[in-house]
Structure 1
Amino acid sequence: MAARKHSAQAASAAALIWAALICLAGSGCQPAAERPPAPREQSASPEQPASDTASVHFTAAGDISMGGGARAVLDVIASLQPDLNIALGDLSYQAGVEQAFCDMVTRKLGKDFPYELITGNHESDGHDGDIGTFAECLPNRLPGLQGAYGIQWYVDVPQEQPLVRFILISPGIKFPGGQPLDYSPGSDRWVWTESAIDGARAADIPWTVVGMHTLCFSMGHYGCQPGEQLTNMLVSRNVDLVLTGHEHVYQRTRQLGLNAGCPVLVPGEARDDCVADADNSLAQGQGTVFVTVGVGGAGHHDVQADDPEAGLFAVWSGKNRDRALGTLDVMVTDSRLDARFVPAAGFTFTDAFAIER
């Protein structure tokens, strides 16, 4: 049934992809909202002062598939009861089963839950599913979204008095026609991304989170697919948190920053001058933390402790070390961002860090 549905939807899905690509240059393409995420009221704790009760709670993971591991991670997300989830690309890993993937998600999380999408390389060009079809059966549920949902978009959460701006982009992966989108300096998508970051600061939104499927720094086997210049632009703008998938590992960098001793981050190098803070208690404005959460259900990749970029990383987990599936669980308030890795049943690896304003 799923294969027949995919075949019937092929034309509309392709049209959706190309319409989305065309509208990236503008500020339109704003999907209708169905359920705004309400700020959660939290009891006072050492991590969250009593006067700081408004919060946004979100989870994020990519590289999902449709097996038991994916369902176990969805169970974790359901148990955490976040306001929204960011799916960091590579969804079903199969063509023609988009509806079945969406059904798996909605059975676990509910049909109105904001399971927000950014494309991975497996569905960006349609060879293992089609991002347009996924976006039809798992549509945007957040009000005020700007851009092309599933490909390049941003949204402020909550819509009124926002605490966080989510900016989702798609550099370094191929789209229909075999070409990647242009995120080179000065391009329309570079300017769009830069403006979305700067706009969050200008609006005094406390936190800025960028998500994309590809990654620049890794202790696995991928290189810097988003590009060195785009990566350095994110750090130069002091994006608080960059979330990625693609590499089937969990890995978190130290807080990386640019300064006189580190005017630019160079892929394949780990310079001490580029590490703004090496512990788990960080201060906002000193740099950017990159977290790869490519453990949403698919298989694992090895991590290499002797990787030339290892000095940039605080923690890592892979096939050959502390293997785990799970999700990043993040709570933001006006004054703090608290993040932790929550493993699925049967795994024990964990991680936690915090950024204070």
Structure 2
Amino acid sequence: MSKWYIKDAGSTFLEPLSDLRASFECRNGGLTILERIVAERGTEPAGFVCADPLRGEMISARTGLLCVDNPEGEVIEHEQVTLWGVLDALPENLSRDLELADAYESREELTVVGEHRIDVHGSAIVFPNVVFDVTNGAIRVEENVTIKAGTVITGPCWIGRDSTLSEQSVIKANTVIGPVCKIGGEVGGTVFQGYANKVHDGHLGDSLIGEWVNLGAGTTNSNLLNTYGEIIVKDLNGKRYKTGRSYVGCFIGDHVKTAICTRIMTGTIIGTGAMIASSTPVPTPTARFAWITDGGTRPYNIEKFVTVAKTVMQRRNVVLHDSTESAIRQLASE
């Protein structure tokens, strides 16, 4: 069988969500881009291609794949999409991923409404009064997930391994929760890359959320204008884009933290590493490593940021790799 390689599209792909990961690591359904290609081809890549040496080192550390300068085999370049394009394709991608996923043994004790497929891993803990609504799509719950009492989950939906849903969570259709997340409140049409916390009440809709994000209690986003009009998104450089969508939430980079009751307006992009603790809505867009309070905005001290990042990651038994730390420092210096 011939070797193949996957090409990293660079940090501008789905910026800022690919700042600290390969473009092909981005989750755009139940699976990441690479996971879906592997599932379709039936083989793992022999390595990857990346134009940036530091970025290549970071990706190798994250994925275990070898960065190759002169690949001897087919090089796969994945489709280029916008942040809101991921939202456009999410229902189709998620439904296909759910359909092709390996089935788990059925669990008769669950409360299920509807006829679509439901897969709940045998190690998952499901408290009383949890409702799985598969009227309009399938639901998948992976290993070691805990779903607390009173939660309602509506398919299509994918809940990744080692994640926890708080009591009385409302998880609406087209939601993907990556591995090791803690999620609560009302969530719909949203993809969590993984290792994120939104454990308290608050609405989050039609959004993409990076890793190591913590949304404080009551943090809420808008995903629909009062005019019901088309939503315009400003990228991190301030360039405006028509999305062609009336529902667009927010796009949040890795390691972003918000204080209690933070308000996020439609189409807001929040750059990697921003810390938001203000009583006014989040700026649209919000720069990387912005430290925002009611006293104003200043750069996040990078030494303090790295210390906090290491502390947060150690709580999940993950170590900040030297190459990722170098990438963070490079981002902060730009």
Structure 2-normalised TM-score?
Answer: 0.30
Structure 1-normalised TM-score?
Answer: 0.28
The answer to which structure, 1 or 2, has the higher relative contact order (CA under 8 A, 6+ apart) is 1
